[in-house]
Chains A and B, each alone.
Chain A
Amino acid sequence: MGSLNIENVKKAFGPVEVLKGIDLEVTDGEFVVFVGPSGCGKSTLLRVIAGLEDSTSGRVLIDGEDVSVTPPAKRGIAMVFQTYALYPHLTVKNNMGLGLKQANTPAAEIDRRIGIASSMLSLEPYLERRPAELSGGQRQRVAIGRAVVREPKLFLFDEPLSNLDAALRVNTRLEIAQLHRRLKATMIYVTHDQVEAMTLADKIVVLNAGKIEQIGGPMELYNSPANEFVAGFIGSPKMNFVDGARLGETAKTIGVRPEHLTVDPKSGAWKGTVVHAEHLGADTNLYLDCEKAGLITVRIFGVYDAEPGATLYATPDPTRTYRFGADGKVLK
């Protein structure tokens, strides 16, 4: 249980078209991440799936059943919000149990499910506290717990880590990944952070300006992006794009990832000067101003000493350069 089909969903707010025809299929147990820049429509799509927003046209099917006009509570979904959205006047326990209580679940069953969820998320010591007495990480765990107790067909996460600090983000990310493995439930996760997308997803949906740019596994998107947008969005630091004409190529744009460039002080394809060096310990990011290629980023594994102003030659790995046509699509 827990498949999702989206058929040609469109959403417009007045004259502004936010979703321009989305088709998507999610199979049972999949972890799907919607990723894209701000305003690309990923949150709106999630809200359409949840039923918090009506689509202008198109159909949403959960488990093969058309839920386009079903209210959120009847769709068999649970949602975790960016701002936690816990009920301030209820204890942790009641926060988690409210949805079940509304659905007239017997009290014993509610207690059993809360017990399982709270031990899974190590929330037992806090069950009688109110949200105000919890830290940010604990609050988000309660919000996740509230979703777990509903035993939904579909988990929806709306940027759940954005309000947490960097260390907590990594921990909570791990917890969500473990939760998915344990529950084997279908999860849909919205984020603008491509690292979260890469680390959590079975399948990534890259959205841009209300359209799906590409759907695929993390490595598929990394290794064979369909177009310039996906190539630039997936991977950190960002892929370098060089004007094809300046390199004497037929393609409009040549793309090469920072980690697929090598540098040498004596010879190489692109001569350039070091603008800035970022030393991260495990790797070093160099910003080179090249005569032919313009400003590019090079990622070198390990420590590399380079002073700003020094001359270096960068050479792209010819098997891992991407060629994009005038329409942004990859040229085969």
Chain B
Amino acid sequence: MSIATRSLPRTIGAHAILLTYTVIALFPVVLVIMNSFKSRAGIFGAPLTPPTPKTFDMIGYTTVIGQGDFIHYFQNSLVVTVGSLFFVLLFGAMAAFALSEYRFRGNTLMGLYLALGIMIPIRLATVAILQLMVASGLVNTLTALILVYTAQGLPLAVFILSEFMKQVSDDLKNAGRIDGLSEYTIFFRLVVPLVRPSMATVAVFTMIPIWNDLWFPLILAPSEETKTVTLGAQLFLGQFVTNWNAILAALSLAILPVLILYVIFSRQLIRGITSGAVK
């Protein structure tokens, strides 16, 4: 930071605001994790204190592991999230490349059409989607979820990625063409590595709503075989009795995979290999 913009009150102010925000943002997460390690009495007696030797209890975790097929739910969630993510990134990047690279009639119109999905919530079409899935026999399959989430993620992916693809040097692509690379090689070997940071951004934006979604698993794939973690956690929410230990433990466990995926992608966010390719 340069001297001109550094002053003590300013620094303190900035840090105070950022710290306050961090505390507010982390509070619910910390609360969930803390209470997942407490006994039922501990949770209701003093919900805001960390677990003490007296209130410490792993009952939540043992219930989750023991009851219901939680490992399986995790697997389902992971398959759906990773699968959708793969297709969103693949098709999103390809569409973005076509829109930004090739001049064809209706290019702008097509771009707008593809971006329209950002403004229209996919849930409005739930009934139609359900009918479609019933007709095609995809109800209670993970494929149904992957298809829906891919459709849901594509508009934003195309929109963001086409902006970034426009910034990739034309000279580099043309150099590839003169060297005889196919358009696919140019796309996968030259362009994709250069837009990797933006693809990681898209991946994070796409991944979190999919992992957390309750709506479509509940409607399209509620069977025991295809339950996702969020849906599985509902198991412990009874009409009369709610097993808070188990719910909090399930939620704490559900945070982990997202966290891991996020760490992987955020490394990509930081790394950029553009430097040196073009000035």
Contact = CB atoms under 8 A, between A and B. Distances in A.
Interface of A: 47, 50-52, 71-74, 77-79, 81-89, 98-99, 102-103, 130-134, 136, 139, 146, 158, 163
B207 interface: no
Interface stretch (B11-19, B36-44, B271-279): B271-279
B276 A130 contact: yes
A85 B279 CA distance: 9
Given A84-B279, A85-B277, A102-B180, 9 more contacts: A73-B179, A79-B174, A83-B279, A84-B277, A85-B174, A86-B277, A88-B193, A88-B194, A88-B277
A89 B276 CA distance: 10
Contacts of B279: 83-84, 136, 163
A283 B174 CA distance: 43
Given A83-B278, A84-B279, A133-B276, A78 B189 contact: no
A86 B180 CA distance: 14
B275 A132 contact: yes
B193 A83 contact: no
A132 to B, nearest CB: 3
Given A130-B276, A132-B277, A163-B279, A85 B172 contact: yes
Interface in B160-203: 169, 171-172, 174-181, 189-190, 193-194
A131 B174 CA distance: 17
A327 B179 CA distance: 45
B177 A52 contact: yes
B165 to A, nearest CB: 16
A132 B276 contact: yes
28 contacts: A50-B174, A50-B178, A52-B177, A71-B177, A72-B177, A73-B178, A79-B175, A81-B171, A81-B175, A83-B169, A84-B277, A84-B279, A85-B171, A85-B172, A85-B174, A85-B277, A86-B175, A87-B175, A87-B277, A88-B194, A89-B193, A89-B273, A102-B179, A130-B276, A132-B273, A132-B276, A146-B175, A146-B179
Nearest to A147: B178
B175 A85 contact: yes
A98 B179 contact: yes
Contacts of B277: 84-88, 131-132
B180 A134 contact: no
Contacts of A133: 276
Nearest to B103: A13
B180 A85 contact: no
Nearest to B193: A89
B97 to A, nearest CB: 17
Contacts, number: 85
A77 B279 CA distance: 24
Given A87-B277, A89-B193, A130-B276, A81 B174 contact: yes
A130 B174 CA distance: 20
Contacts of B177: 51-52, 71-73
B127 to A, nearest CB: 44
A134 B193 contact: no
Contacts of B275: 132
Nearest to A97: B179
Nearest to B172: A85
A269 to B, nearest CB: 49
A50 B177 CA distance: 10
Contacts of B274: 88
Given A102-B181, A103-B180, A88 B273 contact: yes
B70 to A, nearest CB: 41
A103 B180 CA distance: 7
Contacts of B178: 50, 52, 72-73, 77-79, 99
A194 B277 CA distance: 28
Contact of A73 (B169, B180, B278): B180
Contacts of A99: 178-180
Given A72-B178, A98-B179, A99-B180, A134 B276 contact: yes
Given A50-B178, A99-B180, A87 B172 contact: yes
A158 B171 CA distance: 10
Interface in B124-145: none
Nearest 6 CB-CB pairs, A to B?
A: A132-B276, A73-B180, A88-B277, A99-B179, A102-B180, A85-B171
Nearest to B174: A52
